[in-house]
């Protein structure tokens, strides 16, 4: 896969500015999503919902997100994501705003389903953007920046909710305020990014050559590895995102205000994890470690931190429990920049469809998880079993990475007769057909 270059006329400063906008979009995405989780005890009391119904609300959100991933992933390969991204942000912001008017379980499910359908557009659009404007060794850093927006949004949400509750004592205002942020982002996005900046990649010239059987097998194994990775890391991340507020308040007796302050600290730790993963990968890669090995090493370190969930599940109320949760959060979000960068190695022309398909897989499983957790907690009052699932899942993902993902060896050029140059008629190096079906003008794959 050839290195990405900044669009014509654009500087390096511009591409990192765009990454900052991706951070803001992901932040708004998570604020719209996390408002329900942060306010869940009040919403459950106001709408007369039990813990199982709360789990089903998250299930409908997750299923809508899964199908939204397929839809927006398909569109991201056919529509300039400058427009796709803007429309997605406007729709999910409207869905978040309307949540402030719900009166019961059904209307809440409808609003959250629309929110999930539109929010899924964030990742196909964002990953196509970083793939388009960043070089391979920069992508984990860029993906770390955009994913850190999830943490920023999750940090700001409980603090915003706490301030609005002190002012109004009404949970609905939080949805109205957060829902208005999307319009501001769309204005900034359209001002900074022009249509030609994110134009769809030009398809290579038609060819009758097919990827060799070994190349197709390589793609199949890698895609299977990505499915396991996305399912396992999302199981851990979304378990804590959805259930941590109720776990702290109902299981350990923390007050609403104490929970809000801790959630801000928890998601600050996750933000550090996301950015640290990007910096660590870039550091290793620029000191001679292969890009693939750098990402794999950072992924393993983060997975080991998440495995401390087994210890946290058995801790009594107190400082050690909170410290363990902070460390777990650091690792949980640090997994994502590495995973996104692995997914960008698969293909250039079909990045949207790859992201959409993987989103469908992970969110379908996550949506089932929330229904199961809700029913289990309703019957037993215990979260211990699910802490164990969250602990082991990323390690299973790393094992799949070791077994299924084999870094591709650069193709060996055929020997040329003495005096002849290995060039095409126009003087350029001949294109190499990679297993993803993309033509590369460089004989090696700089991403590996």
- State the CATH number of the domain containing residue 129: 1.20.1250.20
Tokens 């070791």 sit on residue: 402
Tell which wins on pLDDT, 182 or 416.
Answer: 182
Task: Note whether residue 175 is domain-resident.
Answer: yes
Tell which wins on pLDDT, 343 or 298.
Answer: 298
pLDDT of residue 335: 92
Task: Note whether residue 204 is domain-resident.
Answer: no
Task: Note whether residue 109 is domain-resident.
Answer: yes
Task: Note whether residue 444 is domain-resident.
Answer: no
91-125 pLDDT, tens per residue? 999 999 999 999 989 999 999 999 999 998 898 88
**CA–CA dist 282, 285 (Å, integer):** 5
pLDDT over 90 percentage in the chain? 28
Task: Note whether residue 415 is domain-resident.
Answer: no
Handedness of CA 75, 97, 245, 370 (dihedral sign): negative
Task: Note whether residue 99 is domain-resident.
Answer: yes
Task: Note whether residue 74 is domain-resident.
Answer: yes
Tell which wins on pLDDT, 442 or 284.
Answer: 284
pLDDT of residue 79: 85
Q: What is the mean pLDDT of residues 151-176?
A: 86
pTM of this structure: 0.67
User: Does pLDDT of 189 surpass 50?
Assistant: yes
Q: What is the mean pLDDT of residues 78-93?
A: 91
pLDDT band at 408 (very low <50, low <70, confident <90, very high): low
Cβ neighbours of 165 (radius 10 Å): 18
Cα–Cα distances in angstroms (integers) from residue 40 to residues 94, 145, 146, 385, in the given order: 20, 28, 26, 22
Task: Note whether residue 281 is domain-resident.
Answer: yes
Please count the structural domains in the chain: 1
Contact in structure between 337 and 301 (CB atoms under 8 Å): no
Q: What is the mean pLDDT of residues 219-225?
A: 84
User: Does pLDDT of 214 surpass 50?
Assistant: no
pLDDT of residue 9: 60
Among 43-47, 130-134, 321-325, the minimum mean pLDDT is found in 130-134
pLDDT band at 216 (very low <50, low <70, confident <90, very high): low
Q: How many CA atoms lie within 13 A of 372 on its CB side?
A: 11
Q: What is the mean pLDDT of residues 232-253?
A: 88
Buried b (16+ CB within 10 A) or exposed e, 295-330: bbebbbbbbebbbbbeebbeeeeeeebbebbbbbbb
User: Does pLDDT of 187 surpass 70?
Assistant: yes
Q: Which of 124, 112, 127 is nearest to 70 (CA)?
A: 124
Domain that holds residue 40: 12-199+213-406
Q: What is the mean pLDDT of residues 2-31?
A: 78
Q: Which residues contact 71 (CB under 8 A, 6 or more apart)?
A: 117, 120, 356
């Amino acid at each position: 896969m050839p290195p990405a270059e900044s669009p014509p006329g654009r500087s390096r400063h511009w591409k990192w500015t765009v990454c900052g906008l991706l951070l803001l979009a992901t932040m708004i995405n998570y604020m719209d999503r996390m408002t329900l989780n942060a306010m869940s005890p009040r919403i459950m009391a106001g709408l007369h919902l039990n813990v199982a119904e709360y789990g089903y609300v998250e299930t409908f959100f997750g299923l809508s997100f899964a199908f939204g991933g397929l839809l927006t992933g398909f569109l991201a390969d056919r529509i300039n994501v400058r427009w796709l991204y803007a429309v997605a942000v406007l729709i999910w912001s409207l869905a978040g705003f309307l949540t402030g008017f719900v009166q019961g379980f059904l209307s809440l499910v409808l609003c959250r389903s629309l929110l999930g359908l539109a929010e899924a557009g964030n990742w196909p659009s964002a990953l196509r953007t970083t793939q388009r404007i960043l070089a391979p060794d920069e992508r984990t850093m860029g993906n770390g920046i955009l994913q850190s927006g999830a943490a920023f949004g999750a940090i700001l949400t409980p603090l915003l909710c706490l301030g609005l509750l002190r002012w109004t004592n009404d949970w609905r205002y939080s949805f109205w305020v957060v829902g208005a942020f999307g319009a501001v982002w769309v204005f900034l996005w359209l001002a900074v990014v022009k249509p030609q900046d994110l134009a769809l990649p030009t398809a290579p010239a038609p060819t009758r050559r097919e990827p060799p059987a070994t190349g197709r097998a390589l793609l199949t194994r890698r895609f299977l590895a990505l499915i396991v990775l996305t399912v396992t890391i999302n199981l851990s991340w979304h378990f804590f995102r959805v259930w941590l507020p109720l776990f702290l308040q109902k299981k350990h007796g923390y007050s609403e205000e104490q929970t809000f302050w801790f959630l801000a600290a928890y998601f600050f730790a996750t933000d550090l994890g996301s950015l640290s993963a990007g910096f660590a990968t870039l550091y290793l890669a620029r000191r001679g470690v292969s890009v693939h090995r750098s990402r794999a090493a950072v992924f393993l370190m983060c997975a080991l931190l998440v495995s401390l969930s087994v210890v946290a599940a058995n801790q009594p109320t107190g400082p050690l429990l909170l410290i363990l949760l902070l460390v777990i959060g650091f690792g949980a979000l640090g997994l994502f920049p590495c995973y996104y960068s692995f997914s960008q190695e698969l293909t250039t022309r079909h990045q949207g469809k790859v992201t959409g398909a993987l989103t469908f897989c992970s969110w379908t499983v996550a949506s089932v998880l929330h229904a199961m957790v809700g029913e289990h907690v309703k019957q037993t009052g215990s979260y211990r079993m699910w802490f164990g699932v969250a602990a082991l899942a990323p390690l299973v993902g790393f094992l799949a990475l070791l077994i299924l993902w084999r870094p591709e060896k650069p193709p060996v050029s055929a020997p040329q007769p003495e005096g002849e140059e290995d060039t095409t008629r126009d003087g350029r190096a001949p294109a190499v057909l990679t297993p993803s079906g993309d033509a590369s003008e460089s004989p090696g794959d700089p991403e590996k």
